[in-house]
Structure 1
Amino acid sequence: MPKKPVPGFILRGNVWHIQKVIKGVGRLRESTGEREIERAEAYLARRLAEIERQVIHGVRPVRTFREAAIKYLNEAEKKSLSRDAASLALLDPYIGRLPIDQVHMGTLEPFIKDRRAAGKSAGTINRDLAVVRNILNLAARLWRDGFGQTWLESVPMILPVKGPKRKPYPLSWEEQGRLFKLLPEYLGNMALFAVNTGCREQEICQLRWDWEEKLPALGTSVFILPEWIVKGQEGKTVERIVPLNKVAKSVIEGQRGLHPEWVFPYKGKPLDRMNNRAWRTARKEAGLEQVRVHDLRHTFGRRLRSTEVSLEDRQDLLGHVSGRITTHYSTAEIRNLIDAVEKLCERDRAPELTLINLNKGAKEVRAAQDFV
């Protein structure tokens, strides 16, 4: 005689699943994750008690930070999601198993202490904490369960840690030649574009062909970066114009035809960031482990200053928000900015800066000359 099915359960494969109608609540359908019926029944008893507390007393179910992190990674739409995933992987051993209402500065302190001991800067640690802050804000303000309750009642203050700011490290010409020759072609092109335009990492990674503006009167083109990609101060952003000197133009021409949308594709997609394993390996081999991708922008700014480009033009070229900046430049103003960045190609001791990928299909990053 076949065994009668247990009321409220159904066996799928080797695992018991709940299928039960709860009065005043509705149908409960979920896996118990258990193979033994006794353990499945104990799981159901706990769930019923949890639902009763939630419905009658308004008590939120206990959810761990790990559950919240998984939900965030599955639902978020961010260009830098891989960076957030890396932060969450580091945070998980410290707060992954904690209920989300127990995540605060006190429980984060061991993580902060260990990161400091590992030599991480305050900026790096604060980027990790920002992910925690973002998830807790979503849990308290957006995410709701089937009963309309938010995952978290209130958000604790997650304060940024303080520490000395890492000083900029503009590259010398010799250091640039040493580093760039060790980069793979795709990354070398991006780095060379950075030191000749001052573009930020994400501006380069996300650069698109439809942002290019042809200027027939000047026989060249510029890129107009939209507001959403340009980093501003105090929440203020404006479009940014990116003039091209002859080195930057050579890089752009070498990229044409590689992808219909992205200027700097890698395996058919844009990179999440330039600071990848190839970058870190190259700078280590070059003896320049202190150099960050953002230092390419500092290099651009320092060289503009050394060639006596005016403060106003430097602000425009670096995309700094000011009361006067606008993308509605006259032809004469654009020509002035192009002349300014062209000075970066004029060197007393060498004929030209590194030029790479002049011909499509170039197999390696080449330096036109090593600078001493």
Structure 2
Amino acid sequence: MLCKFKGSPHWYVRFTAPNGRRICRTTRTADRKLAQEYEIQLKQEVWRACQLGEESPKRWEEAVMPWSQAKKSKPSWRDLRRNLRILNPYLGGKLLRDITAEDIDRIKADRESAGVAPATTNRTLEVLRSVLRMALKRNWLKALPPIEFLDEPDVRIRWITPEEADRLIQELAKSKRTAALAELVRFSLATGLRESNVTGLEWSRVDLERRVMWVEGYQSKNGSAFNLPLSAEAILVLRRQQGKHSRWVFTYYGKRVKRGNTKAFKAALKRAGISNFRWHDLRHTWASWHVQNGTPIPVLQQLGGWKTLAMVMRYAHLGASHLAEFADNVPRLRVVAGKKLAKSECDSTEDAVSA
């Protein structure tokens, strides 16, 4: 039978399967005729599964459930869940085998018309592809529909100067309410860690004597664990947190700080005269400072826990000091404007360059 629940505009299908199992599913439509068509189709699928032993074709929601369970422990789960909410209006109630390129094109077109950036849309499509790939491994799907990603502009690199960072920290440190955020900013600029790795840092993963901390694989964005040597600034921040909590490093009135990118952080940015800056840009700033001060790109890759060198090369243009010693590794030409220079002239040129 069809019914409606209070607060929902959609029709629901409720019936008892031949094996006694009670079925209740949303049709995701307010159109009664379409809801009736869905009810007939669903009853046929359930009957064939119960009476003939045929495996019922899986729907989007059924594929999302095991995928969600596998991803819930990831630091990026909040973003993944948000993308699922974006996909559900398009794919909810739909059989996996019926998801087509047209559905994907509609998602892209709607997101584009809403002014969503191509990179953001691609993150949503990546979630869609990931769910379908798991369904493919479980033999719930015979083949993946073609998923074409949008062209993305160059990655945005926004960093601030040490003077701007000092102003931001001073603004946060002025109030007891935001003093904890000031320490989070200091530690982020000293380590380059992502927000979740800083707010979720536990004392069990810090060794002050060896001046090192580590990030477990399940806490890392790329799934790889890595150790991070702690700078003098990072050590000072950690020592100021000692004794405040037995488990969590960064706390506020005895409770773990769960977020750094808050309204208070944004207000402090405004007071410090810093615009177009996000919390993740603290990591960009840390990497940019390293490159500008001569840290080799492969070393920066290990410090930042990046999986590939390509991820770090976006900072390479900010510093060229590591290339200066190789600039003269080419033969010096002895012909200028068609005239061959005498040895004394070449020597004079070399002396001038050396000077």
Matched, 1:254 2:254: no
**Which residue number corresponds to residue 223 of structure 1?**
213
The one-letter amino acid paired with 1:263 is V
Q: 1:157 to 1:196 in 2, by over 3 A?
A: same
SS at match of 1:28: coil
Structure 2 distance, partners of 1:81, 1:102, is 27
TM-score normalised by L of structure 1:
0.60
Q: CA deviation at 1:225?
A: 2.8
Q: CA deviation at 1:252?
A: 1.4
| Counterparts of residues 15-26 of structure 1 (less than 5 Å) | 22=18
Q: Deviations over 1:173-232 (max 9, x none)?
A: 3432454456534433222211111223333233221121243xxxx6221333444455
Q: Deviations over 1:92-142 (max 9, x none)?
A: 333335433333443122332343344443332222222222222233334
Structure 1 distance, partners of 2:162, 2:291, is 15
Structure 2 distance, partners of 1:313, 1:33, is 53
| Counterparts of residues 63-102 of structure 1 (less than 5 Å) | 63=59, 65-66=60-61, 68-69=63-64, 72-73=67-68, 76-78=71-73, 79-102=75-98
**Which residue number corresponds to residue 303 of structure 1?**
289
Matched, 1:165 2:148: no
Q: CA deviation at 1:169?
A: 0.9
The one-letter amino acid paired with 2:20 is L
Q: 1:131 to 1:250 in 2, by over 3 A?
A: same
Q: 1:17 to 1:98 in 2, by over 3 A?
A: closer
Of 46, 70, 80, 1:51 maps to: 46
Q: Deviations over 1:62-93 (max 9, x none)?
A: 63x35544665467532332222222222333
SS at match of 1:115: helix
Q: 1:123 to 1:191 in 2, by over 3 A?
A: farther
Matched, 1:198 2:184: no
Equivalent residues of 1:60, 1:151 under 8 A apart:
no
Would you tell me which structure has more helix in proportion to its own residues? 2
Q: Deviations over 1:224-279 (max 9, x none)?
A: 333444455xx8x452223222x3223212333343333235674563x6445555
TM-score normalised by L of structure 2:
0.62
> Greater CA radius of gyration, 1 or 2?
2
Instruction: Return the structure number with greater relative CO, CA threshold 8 A, min gap 6.
Output: 1
Compute the RMSD of aligned alpha carbons. Answer: 4.1
Q: How many pairs were matched up?
A: 281
Q: CA deviation at 1:311?
A: 5.0
Identity across the alignment (%): 26
Structure 2 distance, partners of 1:179, 1:51, is 60
Of 125, 131, 145, 1:129 maps to: 125
Structure 2 distance, partners of 1:110, 1:73, is 24
**Which residue number corresponds to residue 175 of structure 1?**
164
